[in-house]
A and B are shown apart, each in its own frame.
Chain A
Amino acid sequence: MSGSNPKSAYWSGFRNGAPFVLVVVPFALLFGVVATKAGLNVVETMVMTIAVIAGAAQFTALSLMQEHAPTFIVLATALAVNLRMAMYSAALVPHVGTAPRWQRMLMAYFLVDQVFAVSIARFDQRPDMTTAEKTAFYFGAASPIVPLWYLFSWVGAVAGTAIPASYSLDFAVPITFIALVGPMLRSLPHMVAAVVSIAASLFLAGLPYSLGVILAALVAMVSGAQTELWLARRKEGAR
């Protein structure tokens, strides 16, 4: 039976993480290429990708820096994109909160969407796993994903210089963001938030320092939350 000890839990995690290589490799390649097109050299691209390991935030930062937004705005927006990871962090505490500090720090560094999704699914399914087994499973899931993220960012950065401008890769970044949003639109509040976000952002596009993006995001976040609360109240009232 898999997961009965840390070693088999590690390999079980590895097997569960492996399919996500198909998602991570193209994203990493794209980041390497886009970073090169934005003027980063291979060292800059690799330090960024290893320090951050968060594709969406990295694309966000590149995009805003290309528009010469002030450093503060670049950081605030890119970190806002990563705020969802605070929820991941909170969700992991009941499962691995008692692991040694160095292990929790390493887990935090590896906390990307795919590793989280694979791990939390298994932990919820098998609450009888020990903390050591859960930790091993988590590192197993990260093992095929994170090294390939580094490797293919590098391949993209090296290959990027050979790709001519006629390939319209400027548009790969918006397309990537849209592609990430599509699967997120799974409920009415999510759709409301997205529509408000687009409308507010276009309306506020004239504001300096890309401030419109942050303001639109705040308004959209509140709209999503209010829609959720409104739906809950309506359900309550129908009873």
Chain B
Amino acid sequence: MIADKTTLWTVILLLGVGTFLIRYSFLGLLGGRKLPEWVLIHLRYVGVAVLPALVAPLVVWPAATQGHMDPARLAAALVALAVGMWRNSAIAAILAGMAVLYALQALL
């Protein structure tokens, strides 16, 4: 639960402003100036660098099981990854992952 409303509103407002500034960066503020090649190369990998780092501890040590490894959640994560790569579809991956989680929770 997020109980601290000051933190919450600070995050909401600054995240909104910061996200807008990122989106407006070249369209407005930087006026079409080109970024150096080495920056662009790194920016290409931001998505695959941040999201797995965020998710790995949540999968291996889930809060809902007090940080104990949970076979159902682990299997659900692997299935979601496989389906996402195979079908190229985020929605298919979410549905498959949650389906495996529910199925294993019902069985185990």
- Interface set of A (CB-CB < 8 Å, partner B): 22-23, 26-27, 30, 38-40, 44, 47-48, 51-54, 56-58, 60-63, 65-67, 71, 74-75, 77-90, 92-94, 96-97, 101, 104-105, 107-109, 111, 168, 170-185, 189-190, 193-194, 196-198, 200-202, 205, 212-214, 216-218, 220-225, 228-229
Cβ-defined partner of A202 (8 Å) among B23, B57, B85:
B57
Interface class of chain A by DSSP: helix
CB of B71 within 8 A of chain A?
A: no
Q: Contacts A61-B11, A104-B24, A213-B54 known; A179 to B93 CB distance under 8 Å?
A: yes
Q: Let me know if A224 and B45 touch, CB within 8 A.
A: yes
Q: Let me know if A39 and B15 touch, CB within 8 A.
A: no
* Interface size range of chain B in the complex: 35 or more
- Interface set, chain B 42-93, CB cutoff 8 A to A: 42-64, 73, 76-77, 80-86, 88-93
Closest 3 CB pairs of A and B: A182-B84, A51-B16, A224-B45
Q: Let me know if B15 and A61 touch, CB within 8 A.
A: yes
Q: Let me know if A51 and B13 touch, CB within 8 A.
A: yes
Q: Let me know if B12 and A44 touch, CB within 8 A.
A: yes
Q: Let me know if A202 and B16 touch, CB within 8 A.
A: no
Interface class of chain B by DSSP: helix
- Interface set of B (CB-CB < 8 Å, partner A): 1-3, 7-16, 18-20, 22-28, 31-32, 34-35, 38, 40-64, 73, 76-77, 80-86, 88-94, 97-98, 101-102, 105
Q: Contacts A81-B50, A179-B91 known; A44 to B8 CB distance under 8 Å?
A: yes
Q: Let me know if B15 and A47 touch, CB within 8 A.
A: no
Min Cβ gap A152→B in Å is 13
Which B residue's beta carbon lies closest to that of A74? B11
Q: Let me know if A93 and B32 touch, CB within 8 A.
A: yes
Find chain A residues with CB under 8 A from B49 CB.
Answer: 193-194, 196-197, 216-218, 220-221, 224
Find chain B residues with CB under 8 A from A196 CB.
Answer: 49
Find chain B residues with CB under 8 A from A220 CB.
Answer: 45, 48-49, 52-53
Min Cβ gap A206→B in Å is 10
Q: Let me know if A197 and B53 touch, CB within 8 A.
A: yes
Min Cβ gap A57→B in Å is 6
Cβ-defined partner of B88 (8 Å) among A54, A78, A183, A200:
A183
Q: Let me know if A81 and B15 touch, CB within 8 A.
A: no
Find chain A residues with CB under 8 A from B25 CB.
Answer: 86, 89-90
